[in-house]
Structure 1
Amino acid sequence: MQKQRLHTKKELEAFRKELRHKLTPAEAFLWKQLKAKNFLGRRFTKQHSIAYFIVDFYCATEKLIIELDGEAHNHPEAQEYDDRRTTYLESLGYTVIRFENRMVFENLASVLNEISSNFKS
């Protein structure tokens, strides 16, 4: 029996690529801080798939997922979906942290501090 692939599933490749080219303004702003090991030497990827979910940012060495939430996430159905998704990803051993888009613009230092506080080492 072949082991099930968890990361970067081939069937999601085109969608991941599309999302990478259509970052939200908040994602693009935060990505400038995280890309190319700019942030405390950690390597992040953007629009990374784990199982059948595509997460905004992922740091493999820290098993850390960062999600940015815009207005679409302020509805009960979206919040319920986000909660189920987070619970599933955490059950696999990942840490999921979420920020509202406006936090990235209004308080970047706090966002970066929260990210680094979730590093294991």
Structure 2
Amino acid sequence: MTGADQIPPRHGEGDQPKAGGGVFATTRSTIIRARKERRSNNLPEVVLWRALRTRPAGLKFRRQHPIAGYCLDFACLSARLAIEVDGEAHARGDRPARDAARDAALRDLGFRTLRIPARDVLSDTDAAVRAIVAACQPLHHPAPPGGPPPRTGEV
């Protein structure tokens, strides 16, 4: 094959597949669980999804997205942000430890996790959406026009 005849890499340029699948490989059972969760009528998630599906600030969100054995309530893949709507059960029993382990596993994949209490989503959905959009924005903003040039080695 010549260079023009080659098929582009399936997992994206620079991404190397890991054993069992792509970069964010998951299990069949996680995919099935995600599909089931999408049909659930969890009120805070339904309310938040109605707001996020309009693509605020031009961002695309996914609902009940499976990644690496976990099913994220919402995800913005372009910002590498996992959004979890936490009810009261997340403060009981072993849930805080399980949530911390999940956050650490997602951090290893390059994702930040934003946890929003379900009561906040229900009481002020617009504020929750603003917090999500703010978390998706890059940490560094370009210099304003006419501002100082970047230092040596910076872009």
| TM-score for both structures, normalised by structure 2 | 0.70
Structure 2, unaligned runs of 5 or more = 1-16, 139-155
**1:65 aligns to 2:65 (yes or no):** no
More helix by share: 1
Q: Which moved more, 1:56-65 or 1:70-79?
A: 70-79
- Which protein, 1 or 2, shows the higher relative CO under an 8 Å CA cutoff with sep ≥ 6? 1
Contact kept? 1:8, 1:48, Cα under 8 Å: no
More strand by share: 1
Structure 1, unaligned runs of 5 or more = none
CA RMSD, Structure 1 to Structure 2 (Å): 1.9
**1:45 aligns to 2:45 (yes or no):** no
Change (3 A) 1:67 1:59: same
How much does 1:36 deviate?
4.5
Quick one: which of 118, 122, 136 aligns to 1:119?
136
Task: Return the index of the structure with the highest Cα Rg.
Answer: 2
Q: Which residue of 2 aligns with 1:54?
A: 71
Aligned partner of residue 85 in structure 2, secondary structure? strand
May I ask how many residue pairs the two structures share in their alignment? 120
Quick one: which of 75, 79, 86 aligns to 2:96?
79
- Aligned equivalents of 2:27 and 2:41: distance in 1? 21
Q: Deviations over 1:24-76 (max 9, x none)?
A: 10000000001142x11111110001100000001111111100011211214
Contact kept? 1:7, 1:51, Cα under 8 Å: yes
Quick one: which of 114, 119, 141 aligns to 1:97?
114
